[in-house]
Amino acid sequence: MADTSPFTVEERLVAVVWYHERRNTNKTTKRVQEDFEERFGKPAPSKSNLHLWEKKAFQSGSVLDSKRSGRPKIRDLGIQNIQTSVLRYPKKSLRKRSAELGVSYSSLRRTMKEDLHMKPYKPTVICELSDADHENRLTACDRLQHFDTIPKRSKDTMIGQQVQVLGYQELMQEVQKRSKQTLFVYFSGSKGADGTSWCPDCVEAEPVVQAELQNLPAGSTFIYCQVGDRPYWKDGNNEFRKELKVTSIPTLLKYGTSQQLVEKQCCQPELVRMLLTEEV
């Protein structure tokens, strides 16, 4: 690499001699720098440069910058070689080309983009449509309409049943009637004349729970239980709190087990699905 110092060889030699002899002349480094500026009419080198030049002069006999090692620039390797490689093997990946040419991946990519104006691309395979495809697709759709390929569900493979009850007594009647079945009970605040529950969390959770009922196990029953109005529910002595230990709504539970979701948990589809489908 060429010498890039702003100081000439003469300036560096004079500075080195003065700096080295300062011990004999009792001059400080600052005084040496002032003498340098007075003689050459330019800013003096820093103390670190003076020390470096002195060390270099006595070790190598020269004050010139030594050659620096390092990877050659991409242009030294030849842009033409890269262009030839691309034209000969256009489908070769950048990583393979980089290894073959001995050029770093980033340098190769930058050269191809900035110097050769090339852009990387990934081939995309698409279906080609012809003029006859429109009629062929209509014919195929017409044939499909006459196929009865969807098997009907038997009684054993149907999803579970759904029941709605109002209040504790109706709930207990359904539980006793279906004692041999797997029961899932969803507790919600009762609905008014407009069909909306007085409980905001229940309103938010209901569509989530309803959407997951498609995963209801065969032979099981889902009971939608309205617990009553707000004053009744807030009463700490109501049957739901005392007998069933249901203290929050909405609550979705697997009856007879400890599995249950409460409040905001009922708004998470994955949790509802897990409760309905996992066996314990």
Per-residue pLDDT tens digits for 182-215: 999 999 999 988 889 999 999 999 999 999 998 8
Q: Tell which wins on pLDDT, 34 or 122.
A: 34
18 and 35 in contact (C-beta within 8 Å)?
A: yes
**CATH topology (fold) of 160-277:** Glutaredoxin (3.40.30)
> Quick one: CA dihedral 105, 106, 112, 113, positive or negative?
positive
Mean pLDDT of the chain: 83
Q: Tell which wins on pLDDT, 225 or 14.
A: 225
Burial of 272 (0-12, 13-18, 19+ CB in 10 A): buried
Phi, psi of 124 (to 5 degrees): -120, 130
* Residue 117 confidence class, pLDDT cut points 50, 70, 90: confident
pLDDT at 230: 92
pLDDT at 176: 92
Q: For residue 175, give the amino acid letter.
A: V
253 and 261 in contact (C-beta within 8 Å)?
A: yes
| Mean pLDDT value of segment 229-235 | 92
Which is catalytic among the residues 202, 225, 266, 267?
202
Residue 55 CA to residue 43 CA, distance in Å, equals 21
pLDDT at 122: 66
| Mean pLDDT value of segment 255-260 | 91
pLDDT at 67: 66
Which is catalytic among the residues 127, 141, 199, 225?
199
| Mean pLDDT value of segment 236-242 | 91
* Residue 2 confidence class, pLDDT cut points 50, 70, 90: low
| Mean pLDDT value of segment 245-267 | 93
At residue 186, the 3 state secondary structure works out as strand
* Residue 263 confidence class, pLDDT cut points 50, 70, 90: very high
* Residue 103 confidence class, pLDDT cut points 50, 70, 90: confident
pLDDT at 159: 60
Residue 210 CA to residue 264 CA, distance in Å, equals 15
| Mean pLDDT value of segment 91-112 | 85
- Look at residue 15 and tell me whether its pLDDT is greater than 90: no
* Residue 248 confidence class, pLDDT cut points 50, 70, 90: very high
Q: Render pLDDT for 125-184 as a digit per residue (tens, 0 to 9).
A: 777 777 777 788 888 777 777 655 544 444 444 467 889 999 999 999 999 999 889 999
pLDDT at 255: 93
Could you state, in order of their start, the residue ranges of all structural domains in the chain?
9-60, 74-114, 160-277
pLDDT at 71: 56
pLDDT at 166: 92
Q: Is 202 a catalytic residue?
A: yes
Q: Is 127 a catalytic residue?
A: no
Enter the pTM of the model. 0.44
Q: Token pair 């990387």 is at which residue? A: 120
| Contacts (Cβ under 8 Å, ≥6 apart) of 273 | 212, 215
